[in-house]
Structure 1
Amino acid sequence: MPYLLVVESQGKADERKRGSWPYYLSYLYEKYRCEPVLIVITQSSATARWASRPIRFGFRDWHSLTVRPLVLGPDNVPVITDERQAEQDVPLAVLSAMTHGRGPRAAAILESLAAALRTIDRDSAAVFVQFVDSCLADPQAKQMWRDLMTAIQYFWRHPLAEQVREEGREEGREEGRVEDRQEMTLRILQWRGIPVTDTVRERVQACTDLAQLEAWAQRAVHAADARELFAGE
């Protein structure tokens, strides 16, 4: 039987949703005649507990309508920081990023997922990219995710990539794109907890070759030491 999945990213408790969720589900069923399933994704344990409470309408012992969201949060989704594990179950790795994508583990989670997305077809990867981007509430984690996606450059047909390119075009100057890649390379290293010496920083900031900076940004995703950016050069 086909189902219509309704995915809702929820940052905090919102009692208004206990009225809007039943409405959305009823509307979708009436419109598409396909059973809808509400999936609530959150990075907060408290929000997960709130969202898990059934929504009931009717008499206390005779409910005319009951809505039970399927809640996915930090307490029932595993943390996946290993690249091989992420490749074995990409959808689960996506959920791991969506529910645990903040705090000190965010970098490892997002890096493993970014690597795993390269092993699946581009269309599916594009959908997952948007799901993760929409659920990352932490500004630093969201920026890191976009940096990773820009550095890997495998999802350029995706609207998120179009947004990145449009932002670059608005700058209107090669200098702006160069500075962006310089900052992105150093930011990826910083997020991964890799020390950046003054020598490395100065070399990256002195480079004006966009292609070279792109290559360094890609190396930054997997480098164990900042000096590996310049390996073989």
Structure 2
Amino acid sequence: MVSSRHEAMHRIFQDYPGLFSGVSEVLGVAIPPPTSVTLMPTDLTEARPVERRVDTLLRIETEDQGPFLLAIEAQGKKDPDKTVSWPYYVTYLNNKYRLPSLLLVVCQDHATAEWAARPISIGLRQWQTLALYPLVAGPHNMPVITEVAEARKDLALASLAAITHADNPDVGAILKTLSATLRDVPETIADPIVELIAQGLGNRPAAQQWRNLVAVDLSFYKSALSEEIRDEGRDEGRAEGRAEGLLLILDVRGIAVTDETRQKITSCDDPQLLHQWLNRAATATTAEEIFAEE
């Protein structure tokens, strides 16, 4: 199953097709800015029972270079099978479209990035028939952006950089810079970036830092992540209110409440379960009867 962070690492190029210009500059490859970009079909399957799909495929037009194809792969770990599939992608694209092709691999850890950057050679030791040199973007070469002015220059590049630096010890400062930058950005631009970064961080500790920043700095946005955070806040508020109401009922009815029982009630964050306890408290004669069915 494809993870959300896997999707974010290549989907960002679909949402911001001009992003490759910034990435190529960072990687030290002189590629002219595109004059147009076309999202291409990602299905590279042949008419035989072997299915191969590249993560994202773009046709990029440039004024000086002419058109070329950019195949983008999000790679979360070392995969020996890629030494077979990646050359296949490039040769297939060359055969089908008769256009120059580049392979860009996006990684989130140094070991995978180092592995992905190794040339893939096809042929004999004495004669190299085909060699593939992937471009690799990862924590080893993507910029660490901690200045709002720098992030504002290219939001898409800053977002991808944040995703690739998900395990960076300074990721908190990177994400804080992005959240501060997005405060002054229209919702239509900020919302997709908020979601892409959330997906790209996956289940790493940095993901919770991003959620906290979105909740505090970007609470006015209507993105799916913002709505999810607000829903969690409403659920938490309902749970706290019902816990207080349950303790009040027990006190009014003169039912003794031990420290253990009080802790059980106040630590419960399930509004529905607290509602059930409230109903039982109306007729229970002891606190134990409230939890009898659990």
Report the TM-score range of the alignment, normalised by the length of the smaller protein.
Answer: 0.5 to 0.7
Give the conservation status (yes or no) of the 8 Å contact 1:102–1:138.
no
Q: Are 1:55 and 2:120 matched, yes or no?
A: yes
**Quick one: distance in 1 between partners of 2:96 and 2:236?**
46
Q: C-alpha offsets along residues 152-203 of structure 1, whole Å, 9 cap, x if unaligned?
A: 15763xxxx336647977x8xx8416479xxxxxxxxxxxxxxxxxxxxxxx
Alignment of 1:74-113 (within 5 A): 74-113=139-178
Alignment of 1:125-204 (within 5 A): 125-126=190-191, 128-137=193-202, 139-149=204-214, 151=216, 152-153=218-219, 156=222, 161-162=223-224, 165=227, 175-176=234-235, 178=237
Aligned twin of 1:40: 105
**Quick one: distance in 2 between partners of 1:26 and 1:91?**
29
**Quick one: distance in 2 between partners of 1:130 and 1:53?**
32
Match of 1:18 among 80, 83, 91: 83
**Quick one: distance in 2 between partners of 1:128 and 1:60?**
46
Deviation at 1:28, TM superposition (A): 5.0
**Kindly tell me: are residues 132 and 69 of structure 1, through their superposed partners in 2, closer, same or farther at Cα, counting changes over 3 Å?**
farther
Deviation at 1:46, TM superposition (A): 2.0
State the AA in 2 paired with 1:143: Q
TM-score by length of 1: 0.57
State the AA in 2 paired with 1:38: L
Give the conservation status (yes or no) of the 8 Å contact 2:83–2:120.
yes
Match of 1:70 among 135, 156, 160: 135
**Kindly tell me: are residues 112 and 167 of structure 1, through their superposed partners in 2, closer, same or farther at Cα, counting changes over 3 Å?**
closer
State the AA in 2 paired with 1:65: L
TM-score by length of 2: 0.47
Larger Rg over CA atoms: 2
**Quick one: distance in 1 between partners of 2:148 and 2:74?**
25
- DSSP-derived class of the 1:93 partner: helix
Aligned length: 174
**Kindly tell me: are residues 20 and 115 of structure 1, through their superposed partners in 2, closer, same or farther at Cα, counting changes over 3 Å?**
farther
Deviation at 1:102, TM superposition (A): 2.3
Deviation at 1:92, TM superposition (A): 3.4
- DSSP-derived class of the 2:114 partner: helix
Give the conservation status (yes or no) of the 8 Å contact 2:107–2:139.
yes
Deviation at 1:109, TM superposition (A): 0.3
**Quick one: distance in 2 between partners of 1:133 and 1:102?**
14
Q: 5+ residue gaps in structure 1?
A: 181-233
Deviation at 1:34, TM superposition (A): 5.5
**Quick one: distance in 2 between partners of 1:68 and 1:130?**
31
Let me know the Cα RMSD of the aligned residues: 3.7
Match of 1:5 among 60, 70, 79: 70
**Quick one: distance in 2 between partners of 1:27 and 1:119?**
44
Deviation at 1:127, TM superposition (A): 5.0
Q: 5+ residue gaps in structure 2?
A: 1-65, 240-294
**Quick one: distance in 2 between partners of 1:177 and 1:83?**
33
State the AA in 2 paired with 1:104: P
Aligned twin of 2:181: 116
**What percentage of aligned pairs have identical amino acids?**
40
State the AA in 2 paired with 1:162: A
Give the conservation status (yes or no) of the 8 Å contact 1:42–1:98.
no
Deviation at 1:50, TM superposition (A): 0.8
Q: C-alpha offsets along residues 137-166 of structure 1, whole Å, 9 cap, x if unaligned?
A: 55221233244345515763xxxx336647
- DSSP-derived class of the 2:113 partner: helix
